[in-house]
Structure 1
Amino acid sequence: MTQATTAKQDSLPNLCTGPALLRLVMIAELLALVLVLNNGGLDGFNWVDLALTSLMVQWITLASAACICRLRPLLARWPLWAAVLLSYVLILTLTFLFTLLGQWFFLGYWWSPQPLDWSALGADLIVAAIFAGIGLQYFYLQQQLQRGERAQLEARIQALQSRIRPHFLFNAMNSIASLIAIDAERAERMVEDLSALFRASLSEATLVPVEQEVALARRYLAMEAARLGDRLQVDWRIEPLPGQPLMPSLLLQPLLENALYHGIGARREGGLLEIALAAENNHLHLLVRNPLGQSTPTPGNGIALANIRDRLAAHFGHAARCEVGVQDKHFCVRISYPITEQ
């Protein structure tokens, strides 16, 4: 499927998801209730009539949703007006067929032949035409709203991912300049590490293998080690992970940058940076722990963590967790989210 076809398909109302089907069922049930109340009023309300009307309306609704869902890849190749028109005609056709079936089965036409109730059939088609137009318009506008929100969120994620503190760039360049004369080979490695970090920050905001994210974090810490020296101690605890789990790109590096900038880098004696990664209950668990800095915390730490929460929510919704806290004079960040594999 081409990118243009995918974009068109994304602009069509999506009736293939669970929430969309639930809304359809609820709207159909409300329509059935309105029809029954319109026919008999409150005094003549009959639960049997409501059950039969609900069955008929739900048949038409779910059958229409199933057909439109299956035809969605085909409709994506057509102009939007043609796709909507075909969906509209399909709903009316199914309404006509199910209404004929309803008269044949529920009204006893199958055992006592009699003329069709064309007046009732016409009324059903008019009601279907009105509500189909309203429903398609509603789901189209909802789809466009979700598409716009998703585009804004992806743009924000991309902007957050590409954000690297200027002080880190300046420190890295100064370290490289100081190493050129005394250790050219190490300076060259730092240039390569810095290039890899910027390449990741400018890449598409997506999920990448955990091994790739860990390798990038190690390169970042190697650059910071050139500046901090023995003040920086790192303890990696990575347990065996099932399959090939994924992680949001450039998720780990900002956590490590915060730990160094607000914690270890702010201490004369430095400290130990602990990084633990494990899998449990089909969730990936990440822990970053560092000693508290000796200076007053700056607001930047909270902003970075809020950005990470936004990215996790964009990828995993409410299933992701990002908890922060202070324990034994150490700042801890705990992240967990459902394991997603390639």
Structure 2
Amino acid sequence: MDRTSPSSEHPIDILWQPATLLSIFAAGELLAIILALGSPLASGSVLVKFGLASFAIQWVVLFTLSGLYLLRTKLTGFGARGVIVLAMTLMLLVTLLSGASVSSLFGDVFADQSAPWFVGTLRFYVCLLSMSTFGLLALRSHWSAQRAAWQTQQAELQALQARVDPHFLFNTLNTGVALVHARPDAAEQLLLDLADLFRAALAGPRSIMLADELDLARRYLDIEQLRFGPRLQVEWDAPDTLPHMLLPALSIQPLVENAIHHGIEPRMDGGVVTIRVFDEARDVVVEITNPLPDPSSSPRDRGHRVGQAAVTARLREAGGGFSAAVEGERYVARVRIPFSE
């Protein structure tokens, strides 16, 4: 699964999205209706005029999109404004060449007999240019909105990464100090696990192998098991060989952290956190379950829910998905990662 994030997505890439292509062809049909109702043909009905205008416009659109697609690798250095200028130039060039070819073969089918010969053709070009300008400006606005939304999500992620939970750090260091003399090997492993967690949190937005992300969650759970002792039990149900696939970094570990913070810590007797990895349809599903807090326990703060929202947004942008629900007496969070094509 090698997917680029919207932060690195180029304006030209928006053109190949199904919704954008549908909008382009729909706008072309709208322009054909305007032309069909706006100027008389030398002969023929409105339906004939609409058919000819629709064919001409979609011809221009298809050739313009084909040209932009062939040039897409060379357009990576262009900004949104440069792409708009090139698209307009290419569209006008295709329109002029197509119009000249049609006129030489069939005459000016858009000519108005009561007006000079060039009026029909000029009207067609002006309408096409106007609609294209509005369409490309709307496309630029859409791309800018997507980019702004992604930057907002990245800012939330960076805030999540920059946040060092003082209680977690304090408790972990205290646990390490307590183990230094009694179990020095365990204290050393705890500090190594803590270093790996902070290294991952400070690495910035990136993709990570599923096995590495699960290993990060395992290290976090190892630290918390030393802290909670018998109150925390962990059950893993994962295949020995994990699929070779990528997902956004810190997609699973924050969910495991939520399970501890909201499910284990408030309970006097603790509980079991279960992590399952299994195939479902064309997805790999990572399922994290934890017990619900005791009804008598005080509500936990909702700070970690920001992390869950960031995980949801980044998984969605990467083509995956996230869901969470209360099932019986347990809270179940599921991460879905599509298999590579």
TM-score by length of 2: 0.83
Structure 1: gaps (5+ residues): 1-5, 110-115
Question: Distance in 2 between the 1:149 and 1:310 partners?
Answer: 10
Separation in 1 of the partners of 2:74 and 2:9? 9
C-alpha offsets along residues 233-282 of structure 1, whole Å, 9 cap, x if unaligned? Answer: 21100036674122332222222222222222333332222111111211
Q: After alignment, is 206-215 or 291-300 more displaced? A: 291-300
Greater alpha carbon shift after TM alignment, 192-201 vs 305-314: 305-314
Matching of residues 146-225 of structure 1 within 5 Å: 146-225=146-225
Greater Cα shift, 195-204 or 32-41: 32-41
Partner of residue 129, structure 1: 129
Q: Which moved more, 1:15-24 or 1:46-55?
A: 15-24
For the pair 1:298 / 2:329, whether they are aligned, the reply is no
Question: For residue 64 of structure 2, what is the aligned residue in structure 1?
Answer: 64
Partner AA of 1:207 in structure 2: S
Distance 1:241 1:155, change over 3 A: farther
The secondary structure found in structure 1 opposite 2:182 is coil
**How much has 1:85 moved relative to structure 2?**
3.6
Q: Write the letter of the residue equivalent to 1:315.
A: A
Q: Relative to structure 1, is the Cα distance of residues 239 and 202 closer, same or farther in structure 2, using a 3 angstrom cutoff? A: same
Question: Within 2, Cα distance between the matches of 1:7 and 1:249?
Answer: 15
Structure 2: which amino acid aligns with 1:206? R
Q: Does 1:239 align with 2:239?
A: yes
Q: Which moved more, 1:62-71 or 1:84-93?
A: 84-93
Q: Which amino acid aligns with 1:324?
A: A
**Aligned residue number for residue 88 of structure 1:** 88
SS of equivalent residue, structure 1 residue 203: coil
Tell me if structure 2 keeps the 8 A contact 1:36–1:45: no
**CA contact 1:13–1:143 (8 Å) conserved in 2:** no
User: Which residue of structure 1 lines up, in the alignment, with residue 323 of structure 2?
Assistant: 322
Structure 2: how far apart are the matches of 1:138 and 1:102? 30
CA contact (8 A) 1:14 1:69 kept: no
Instruction: Show the counterpart of 1:228.
Output: 228
Structure 1 pair 9–70 and aligned structure 2 pair: CA distance change class (3 A): farther
1:251 correspondence with 2:251: yes
Q: CA deviation at 1:184?
A: 2.4
Asked whether the 8 Å contact 1:246–1:339 carries over to 2, the reply is no
Deviations 1:187-225 (A, max 9, x none): 121111101001111122233111101111111111111
- Matches of 1:9 and 1:275 in 2, distance apart? 33
The runs of 5 or more residues in structure 2 that have no matched partner are 1-5, 110-115
Q: Offset of 1:9 from its aligned partner?
A: 7.8
1:128-177, Cα deviation, whole Å (9 max, x unpaired): 33333333322223222222222222222333344443211111111112
Over the matched positions of the two proteins, sequence identity in percent amounts to 29
* 2:156 and 2:310 in contact (8 A); partners too: no
Corresponding residue for 1:38?
A: 38
Q: Secondary structure at the match of 1:205?
A: coil
Cα–Cα, structure 1 residues 145 and 188, in superposed 2: closer, same or farther, change >3 Å? same
**SS of aligned partner of 1:239:** coil
What does residue 112 of structure 2 align with? none
Cα drift, residue 303 of structure 1 = 4.6
Amino acid at match of 1:313: R
CA contact (8 A) 1:278 1:284 kept: yes
- Secondary structure at 2:10 match in 1: helix
Specify the alignment match of 1:3 in structure 2. none
- Cα drift, residue 84 of structure 1: 4.1
Do the aligned partners of 1:197 and 1:220 also contact (CA within 8 Å) in 2? yes
Tell me the SS of whatever aligns to 1:250.
Answer: coil
Q: Counterpart in 2 of 1:112? A: none
TM-superposed deviation, 1:304: 4.5
